């Protein structure tokens, strides 16, 4: 089987990786069927409707250097300037530290931002700027990967500088504490965000939910061109056959009714039942774009993939907690996004300024920490107290919602061996933020992996 006519690709998982793969193949006229076990697309970046309010499973942020993700969003009909609030690079730790990049070419914008940063001594500013210039001279490459904490010590970044600048940056980018985080992966992100064009370091905050932003549009793109997207249709088994693969889906899945008025419900127009009563399908190729735990479960019965499964099993995971608080509409923060120093909340987002959802604030707590030991009520009360102390918000929120993603990302440690997109079965590929790549677990890493799988299939035809 080596031509377009007999090629039909199953994509397992309708997150950003799976949908990027499906769109890339569809754009090249390769028939695709996406299977998504959840009611809606998006996976770890999905819209959530709560109390009639459109939320996400976690507040996400994109960088201007996420070129493939931004290109994909535009390819399926998005408009970056309308879909996002674009902010030039700025880091504000409330009343402690503030850095703003002027509209100048890179890397001048960063050097000026560092030299004019509030909350650092002159000595610290010089150390930070020298560090960036040294990294640039090294082309952001280390001979041997180490932890971010070791890198910072090696290049003389003292404690205050670390706490105010590098630690918040590292946790935001890698979702891994500096004592465990890979310095090389952080440098990959810094290289792409800070060293090319100024717009690469822009911060893009979505105005619409994450299912609507890409996966839902991607599904329409695929379906309008003859492909299929089945939601509420989990894959139970992948069985290699001589001429491809048999895919067994969950035949007991009941398709739920769409939730009225919410943009993030599934968009599938085809269902397992009507197309294939038995829930068994045949494909020439499979792209497994499910989360790592599920991918390991699906691949485990295939002896040739034992090494891949072992690599996935070795990955550790890190959580992200997002607490949404709906205050009266007049409540707002001084900036759309700002950090808190040595507090429970790491980053706060004002959804009123970002998306016109007035009074809605999001508090994000990334990576492991003592917050995981708190009951959700306790966590909310801590954050409410911080908002009162730091910003004088004396009102009580009408409601709050904690969304704890326990396995938000893989733990991005030094020298981590991640499974390749290509497996020992040439027509079975792996997509997902955890697969081999230069990026940490991010939307861009996920999208790039999906595109790589699609390219590998196209090249093989």
Ligand X SMILES: Cc1cc2nc3c(=O)[nH]c(=O)nc-3n(C[C@H](O)[C@H](O)[C@H](O)COP(=O)(O)OP(=O)(O)OC[C@H]3O[C@@H](n4cnc5c(N)ncnc54)[C@H](O)[C@@H]3O)c2cc1C
Q: Is 17 in the site for ligand X (CB under 6 A)?
A: yes
Residue 192 vs 433, nearer CB to ligand X? 433
Q: Is 36 in the site for ligand X (CB under 6 A)?
A: yes
CA distance 218 to 227: 11
> Would you say 170 and 181 are in contact if contact means Cβ atoms under 8 Å apart?
yes
Q: Tokens for 441?
A: 């677990």
Residue 42 vs 128, nearer CB to ligand X? 42
Q: Interaction with ligand X in 264-323: which residues (CB under 6 A)?
A: 289-291, 294, 320, 322
> Would you say 400 and 387 are in contact if contact means Cβ atoms under 8 Å apart?
no
Give least dist CB 141 to ligand X, A. 22
Task: State residue 10 phi and psi, 5-degree precision.
Answer: -90, 130
In degrees, rounded to 5, the angle at the alpha carbon of residue 39 between the alpha carbons of residues 207 and 49 is 40
Residue 83 vs 433, nearer CB to ligand X? 433
Q: Is 422 in the site for ligand X (CB under 6 A)?
A: no
The stretch near ligand X (CB under 6 A) out of 15-23, 90-98, 275-283, 419-427 is: 15-23
Give least dist CB 76 to ligand X, A. 15
Give least dist CB 163 to ligand X, A. 21
Residue 128 vs 312, nearer CB to ligand X? 312
Give least dist CB 13 to ligand X, A. 3
Q: Is 214 in the site for ligand X (CB under 6 A)?
A: no
The stretch near ligand X (CB under 6 A) out of 6-14, 134-142, 151-159, 271-279 is: 6-14
Residue 15 vs 107, nearer CB to ligand X? 15
For the chain, the residue count is 461
Alpha helices, DSSP H, located in 62-213: 67-75, 80-83, 108-115, 122-137, 148-154, 159-161, 167-174, 183-194, 210-213
- Bridge partner list, 230: 35
DSSP class per residue in 321-374: EEEEEE--TT---SSSEEE-TTSS-SEEEEHHHHHS-TTEEEEEEESS-GGGGS
Q: Which of 8, 60, 125, 228 is in the footprint of ligand X by CB under 6 A?
A: 60
Give least dist CB 60 to ligand X, A. 4
Residue 44 vs 94, nearer CB to ligand X? 44
> Would you say 324 and 366 are in contact if contact means Cβ atoms under 8 Å apart?
no
> Would you say 390 and 340 are in contact if contact means Cβ atoms under 8 Å apart?
yes
Q: Is 190 in the site for ligand X (CB under 6 A)?
A: no
Q: Which of 21, 33, 43, 167 is in the footprint of ligand X by CB under 6 A?
A: 43
Three-state DSSP class for residue 57: coil
DSSP class per residue in 111-122: HHHHHT-BTS-H
Q: Is 24 in the site for ligand X (CB under 6 A)?
A: no
Q: Is 174 in the site for ligand X (CB under 6 A)?
A: no
List residues binding ligand X (CB under 6 A).
Answer: 12-18, 35-38, 43-45, 57-58, 60-61, 234-235, 289-291, 294, 320, 322, 405, 408-409, 432-433, 441-444, 446
């Amino acid at each position: 089987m080596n031509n377009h006519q007999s090629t039909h690709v199953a994509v397992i998982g309708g997150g950003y990786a799976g949908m990027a793969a499906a769109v890339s193949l569809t754009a090249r006229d390769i028939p695709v069927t996406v299977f998504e076990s959840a009611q809606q697309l998006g996976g770890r970046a999905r819209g959530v409707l709560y109390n009639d309010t459109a939320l996400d499973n976690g507040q996400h942020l994109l960088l201007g250097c996420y070129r493939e993700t931004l290109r994909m969003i535009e390819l399926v009909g998005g408009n970056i300037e309308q879909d996002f609030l674009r902010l030039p690079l700025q880091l504000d730790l409330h009343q402690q530290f503030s850095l703003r990049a002027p509209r100048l070419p890179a890397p001048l914008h960063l050097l000026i931002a560092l030299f004019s940063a509030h909350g650092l001594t002159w000595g610290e500013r010089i150390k930070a700027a020298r560090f960036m210039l040294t990294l640039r001279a090294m082309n952001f490459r280390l001979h041997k990967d180490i932890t971010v904490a070791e890198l910072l010590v090696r290049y003389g970044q003292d404690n205050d500088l670390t706490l105010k600048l590098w630690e918040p940056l590292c946790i935001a980018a890698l979702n891994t504490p500096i004592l465990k985080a890979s310095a090389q992966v952080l440098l990959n992100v810094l290289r792409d965000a800070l060293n090319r064009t100024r717009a690469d370091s822009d911060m893009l905050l979505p105005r619409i939910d994450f299912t609507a932003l890409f996966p839902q549009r991607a599904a329409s793109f695929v379906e309008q061109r003859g492909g299929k997207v089945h939601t509420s249709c989990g894959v139970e088994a992948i069985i290699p056959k001589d001429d491809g693969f048999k895919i067994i889906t969950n035949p007991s899945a009941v398709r739920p009714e769409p939730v009225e008025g919410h943009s993030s419900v599934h968009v599938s127009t085809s269902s397992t039942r009507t197309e294939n009563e038995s829930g068994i399908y045949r494909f020439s190729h499979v792209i497994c774009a499910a989360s790592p735990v599920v991918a390991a479960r699906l691949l485990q019965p295939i002896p040739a993939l034992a090494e891949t499964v072992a690599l996935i099993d070795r990955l550790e995971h890190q959580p992200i907690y997002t607490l949404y608080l709906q205050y009266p509409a007049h409540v707002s923060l001084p900036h759309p996004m700002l950090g808190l120093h040595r507090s429970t909340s790491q980053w706060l987002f004002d959804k009123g300024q970002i998306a016109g959802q007035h009074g809605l604030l999001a508090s994000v707590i990334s990576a492991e920490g003592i917050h995981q030991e708190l009951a959700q009520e306790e966590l909310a009360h801590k954050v409410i107290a911080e908002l009162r102390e730091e910003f004088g918000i004396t009102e009580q929120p009408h409601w709050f919602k904690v969304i704890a993603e326990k396995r938000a990302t893989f733990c991005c440690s030094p020298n981590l061996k991640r499974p390749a997109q290509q497996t020992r079965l040439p027509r079975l590929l792996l997509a997902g933020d955890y697969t081999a790549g230069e990026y940490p677990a991010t939307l861009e890493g996920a999208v790039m992996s999906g595109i790589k799988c699609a390219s590998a299939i196209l090249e093989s035809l």
